[in-house]
Amino acid sequence: MNKHFLSLFFLITLFFIKSAIASPISYPGGWTIMQMNDFNRHSVHFHLSPSVKYSIGYRGEYWRKKEWQFHGTQLNYLIKRFNTPKSQANLYLKSGAGLAVSDYKNLNNKIEPNIFSGISVDWEDRQYFVSYQNRVNYNSSIDTFFLQKARIGFAPYVGDYGDFHTWVMLQVESMTKTKNKIIYTPMLRMFKGDLLAEVGLTNYKDFMFNFIKRF
Amino acid sequence: MKFTITIILLFFTLITFNVTKSQEKLENEVLSISVNGLVCDFCARSIEKLFSKKESVKSINVNLEQMLITISLKKGKSLNDDIITKVITDSGYDIREIRRDR
């Protein structure tokens, strides 16, 4: 199941990369695709931003430990942005609704409505970065949890526009109802132009890879 | 004699070319836009994409160090402050100052 789902993710990702390159537009009207793989889950999220205030799109997830999927719509809303001469900070609300589909033991082939919501806050200047986000997930029996994620990072060198940028970060993640309560992930964030990639290794020796492309 | 004429023609061609280039420079308006919040290259791409869609924009340069966007307009074209402010706001930033040079 896991392999089939991963294959589907990559096919979807490749399809959208291909189709979006043919129409390279951005904010407002810009597309973004995010493909993430970490200790707990594999996910893909592609969204359209009708304005600078919000974006809406499809979200698909596969939760590895409890073997369930989420397929639905996610809405990201910018509550407040703080622009200063030296930094930027953002406060977002991220919410979604869709279906949870389970493959797990006695929950096999179970399908339930699933909702989630959470806030995300970040601050960065040209050399330092801090972020925090949380998520409450609810469905009636497959998996209900509260997840929190925080990051701190710095840029070992400050590049200018168009350069290859590198950030060194530490991510700390906590999720209720899991055996491994706190997951530490030292990671590297790299980006150039419209492409961003993150690689890391958790304290449980699990690989993390994230990829974002903006159009 | 032919050689002298060739040299003279080349000389005048070069002068004419330089005068034309100088006039172009004089007629092309250059906008220097100072913005707040311009810290991330990845996020600042939206500025380039949105300004590039404007017919009057010839080229754009983003300087993260000075938080400065420099836009060179096409000859005889202009971009008013309302449009500039909308593009910068749509990109997620706040304008500090717009300076115009010719």
* Predicted confidence (pLDDT) per residue in A85-144, tens digit: 999 999 999 999 999 999 887 778 899 999 999 999 999 999 999 999 999 999 999 999
In terms of Cα–Cα distance, which of B68, B71, B65 is closest to B50? B71
Adjacent-strand bridge partners of A59: A45, A72
Confidence of residue A25 (pLDDT cuts 50, 70, 90): very low
Instruction: HSE, CB side, 13 Å, CA atoms: give it for residue B71.
Output: 28
pLDDT over threshold 50, residue A51: yes
Q: Identify the pLDDT of residue B81.
A: 94
A106-118 pLDDT, tens digit each = 778 899 999 999 9
- Using a CB-CB cut-off of 8 Å, the residues of chain A touching B49 are 24-27, 30
B60-94 pLDDT, tens digit each = 999 999 999 999 999 989 899 999 999 999 999 99
Question: Which residues, at least 6 apart from A93, have a Cβ–Cβ distance to it below 8 Å?
Answer: A76, A77, A79, A117, A118, A119, A120
Q: How many helical (H) and strand (E) elements, i.e. helices and strands, does chain A have? A: 1, 12
Mutate to test the interface with A, among B34, B38, B41 (most CBs of A within 10 A): B41
A57-90 pLDDT, tens digit each = 999 999 988 899 999 999 999 999 999 999 999 9
- Using a CB-CB cut-off of 8 Å, the residues of chain B touching A82 are 37
Residue B95 distance to chain A (closest CA, Å)? 10
A2 CB near a chain B CB, below 8 Å? no
Averaged pLDDT of chain B: 84
The crossing angle, in degrees rounded to 10, of helices B41-52 and B81-91 is 140
- Using a CB-CB cut-off of 8 Å, the residues of chain B touching A27 are 46, 49-50, 90-92
Work out the average pLDDT over B18-39: 74
pLDDT over threshold 80, residue B12: no
In terms of Cα–Cα distance, which of A112, A64, A73, A71 is closest to A94? A73
- CB contact under 8 Å between A83 and B90, yes or no, is no
- Using a CB-CB cut-off of 8 Å, the residues of chain B touching A191 are 41-42
Lowest mean pLDDT among A1-5, A7-11, A151-155: A7-11
Contact yes or no for A120/A131 (Cβ under 8 A): yes
The DSSP code sequence of A196-213 is EEEEEE-TT--EEEEEEE
Q: How many helical (H) and strand (E) elements, i.e. helices and strands, does chain B have? A: 3, 4
Q: Which residue has the tokens 């209900």?
A: A144
| Per-residue exposure over A136-148, b if at least 16 CB sit within 10 Å of its own CB, e if not | ebebeebbebebe
Residue A28 distance to chain B (closest CA, Å)? 7
pLDDT over threshold 60, residue B16: no
B88 CB near a chain A CB, below 8 Å? no
Q: Which residue has the tokens 């806030």?
A: A119
- CB contact under 8 Å between A83 and B67, yes or no, is no
Residue B36 distance to chain A (closest CA, Å)? 5
Reported pTM? 0.79
Mutate to test the interface with B, among A21, A23, A27, A165 (most CBs of B within 10 A): A27
In terms of Cα–Cα distance, which of A107, A193, A124, A8 is closest to B38? A124
Distance CA B94, CA B79 (A): 17
Confidence of residue A10 (pLDDT cuts 50, 70, 90): very low
A19: helix, coil or strand?
helix
Q: Identify the pLDDT of residue B24.
A: 47
A81, A124, A162 ranked by CB distance to B39: nearest: A124
Enter the tokens of residue A200: 């890391």
B2: helix, coil or strand?
helix
